[in-house]
């Protein structure tokens, strides 16, 4: 079989008509094999560490939103919590702009340098949040600065997910791609766990009053050394084998955005990229980012202290960090769709009873509820981004993946804390998050039926 035949067959597997010989640049298995196991492991570690830094910076806002409401908005009442959650939503509105610009640059000039730059951007924005004077000092300028910095964070995050996943996916061998990529997801959850534990330690050692007064700034300022470490590691990596092939053969797409948005096949995949991760919104942002605020403010007489709420969240984060690699390895063996289906069904079944346990206000029962939810969600968290990366060829992977996933996070993720707060307030039911989880699980379950199985298949390049 000739090289041209192999390239054409790779394109056919991904539902793409083969290009005439001499015009297609496809990174086949032999190209990827040139990246030895040591290099692949290095890329995976760098991806996980970069993900840790990026999502620590991004997630700490949700964990400490109550303190931000007090200091930046003036008081932690329902109205100011609403406004602070608007700041959470604003970052998601900025994400598509980051997705479009970063996706274009990532498909045009490469993944490596861009990913390192994004870490600097989000770390600087996060540290700056920790330096904002309180509203008692600068008045309305405090919330204005907060919103502007959240826009910068959202811009960076918009380019991070697809870029990091594409980077590791383009290094990983076909048979173990999901397992290698899963450590990026693990890095994001460990970042939230670190943020939860670090915040809990500060509250325990310094006290609630000190935390409210000034110590809430410490987790934000920690972004400076973390960002430096992440930038150093990412900047020392080489470009991915798949993108190198495109560059060497001079077949990098001139306008990847236009290529992604004018192809019916890519547009269909982008639509799937919007709806397949629907469960990711409640799964990630409600179960882990919003959960401490939910347990502190939305359970009425059963409200937790912030310390206990953070510790409950930390237990669930440990559970999902352990389960994600196991689910990813299972996906590499039995397929992406069975694991995604199992996770969606599990979330639909356990969400209501587990949230009932959380709303009792009992620490032990809340831990059981959040841990069970974390285990149920782990299959989705482990697999969904691998499926999204495998939907697109290397020429438009960063662009198309970023656009679809950012739109998904606006619809199902960024609005979650704000929407949950308002619905709980208006209905008086603290089980609203359970219903949101069930609904999005069903949306994901329906979308899975339209997704092709991609386990073990080589990545298409054009």
The reported pLDDT for the residue numbered 67 is 85
Q: Does residue 400 have a pLDDT over 80?
A: yes
pLDDT tens-digit series, residues 24-49: 334 444 444 445 677 888 888 888 88
SS (H, E, C) the chain: CCHHHHHHHHHHHCCCCCCCCCCCCCCCHHHHHCCCHHHHHHHHHHHHHHHHHHHHHHHHHHHCHHHHHHHHHCCCCHHHHHHHHHHHHHHHHHHHHHHHHHHHHHHHHCCHHHHHHHHHHHHHHHHHHCCCCCHHHHCCHHHHHHHHHHHHHHHHHHHHHHHHHHHHHCCCCHHHHHHHHHHHHHHHHHHHHHHHHHHHHHHHHHCHHHHHHHHCHHHHHCHHHHHHHHHHHHHCCCCCHHHHHHHHCCCCCCCHHHHHHCCHHHHHHHHHHHHHHHHHHHHHHHHHHCHHHHHHHCCHHHCCCHHHHHHHHHHHHHHHHHHHHHHHHHHHHHCHHHHHHHHHHHHHHHHHHHHHHHCCCCHHHHHHHHHHHHHHHHHHHHHHHHHHHHCCCCCCHHHHHHHHHHHHHHHHHHCHHHHHHHHHHHHCCCCHHHHHHHHHHHHHHHHHCCCCCCCCCCCCCC
The reported pLDDT for the residue numbered 406 is 86
Query: How does residue 80 score in pLDDT terms, banded at 50, 70 and 90?
Result: low
Specify the pTM: 0.82
Residue 140 CB-density burial (10 A; 0-12 exposed, 13-18 middle, 19+ buried): exposed
pLDDT tens-digit series, residues 350-363: 999 999 999 998 99
Query: Of the ranges 40-44, 381-385, 394-398, 420-424, which one carries the lowest mean pLDDT score?
Result: 420-424
pLDDT tens-digit series, residues 298-330: 887 788 888 888 889 889 999 999 999 999 999
Q: Are 256 and 243 contacting, i.e. CB atoms less than 8 angstroms apart?
A: no
- What mean pLDDT, rounded, does the chain reach? 85
Q: Does residue 414 have a pLDDT over 90?
A: no
Count of Cβ atoms closer than 10 Å to residue 258 Cβ? 13
Tracing tokens 């198309």 back to the chain, one arrives at 400
The reported pLDDT for the residue numbered 57 is 78
């Amino acid at each position: 079989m000739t090289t041209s035949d192999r390239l054409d067959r790779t394109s056919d597997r991904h539902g793409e008509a083969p290009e005439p010989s001499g015009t297609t640049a496809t990174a086949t298995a032999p190209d990827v094999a040139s990246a030895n196991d040591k290099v692949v492991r290095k890329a995976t570690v760098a991806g996980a560490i970069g993900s840790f830094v990026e999502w620590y910076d991004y997630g700490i806002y949700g964990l400490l939103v109550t303190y931000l409401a007090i200091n930046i908005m003036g008081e932690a009442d329902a109205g100011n919590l609403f406004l602070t959650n608007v700041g959470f939503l604003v970052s998601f509105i900025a994400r598509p702009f980051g997705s479009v610009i970063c996706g274009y640059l990532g498909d045009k000039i490469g993944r490596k340098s861009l990913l390192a730059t994004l870490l600097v951007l989000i770390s600087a924005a996060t540290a700056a949040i920790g330096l904002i004077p309180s509203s008692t000092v600068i008045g309305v300028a405090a919330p204005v600065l907060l919103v502007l910095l959240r826009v910068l964070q959202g811009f960076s995050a918009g380019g991070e997910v697809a870029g990091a996943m594409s980077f590791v996916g383009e290094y990983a061998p076909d048979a173990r791609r999901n397992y290698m990529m899963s450590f990026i997801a693990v890095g994001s959850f460990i970042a939230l766990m670190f943020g939860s534990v670090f915040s809990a330690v500060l509250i325990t050692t310094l006290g609630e009053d000190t935390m409210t007064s000034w110590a809430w700034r410490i987790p934000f300022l920690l972004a400076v050394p973390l960002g430096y470490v992440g930038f150093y590691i990412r900047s020392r990596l080489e470009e991915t084998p798949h993108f190198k092939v495109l560059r060497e053969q001079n077949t990098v797409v001139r306008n990847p955005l236009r290529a992604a948005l004018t192809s019916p096949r890519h547009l269909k995949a982008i639509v799937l990229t919007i709806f397949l991760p629907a469960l990711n919104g409640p799964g990630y942002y409600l179960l882990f980012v919003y959960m401490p605020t939910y347990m502190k403010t939305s359970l009425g007489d059963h409200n937790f202290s912030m310390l206990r709420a953070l510790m409950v969240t930390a237990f669930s984060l440990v559970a999902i960090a352990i389960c994600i690699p196991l689910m990813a390895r299972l996906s590499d063996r039995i397929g992406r769709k069975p694991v995604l289906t199992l996770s969606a069904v599990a979330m639909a079944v356990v969400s209501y009873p587990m949230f009932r346990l959380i709303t009792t206000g009992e620490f032990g029962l809340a831990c059981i509820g959040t841990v069970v939810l974390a285990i149920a969600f782990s299959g989705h968290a482990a697999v969904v981004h691998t499926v999204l990366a495998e939907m697109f060829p290397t020429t438009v992977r960063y662009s198309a993946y970023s656009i679809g996933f950012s739109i998904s996070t606006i619809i199902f993720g960024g609005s979650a804390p704000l929407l949950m707060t308002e619905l709980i307030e208006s209905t008086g039911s603290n089980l609203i998050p359970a219903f949101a989880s069930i609904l999005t699980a069903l949306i994901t379950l329906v979308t899975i039926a339209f997704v092709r199985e991609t386990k073990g298949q080589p990545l298409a390049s054009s």
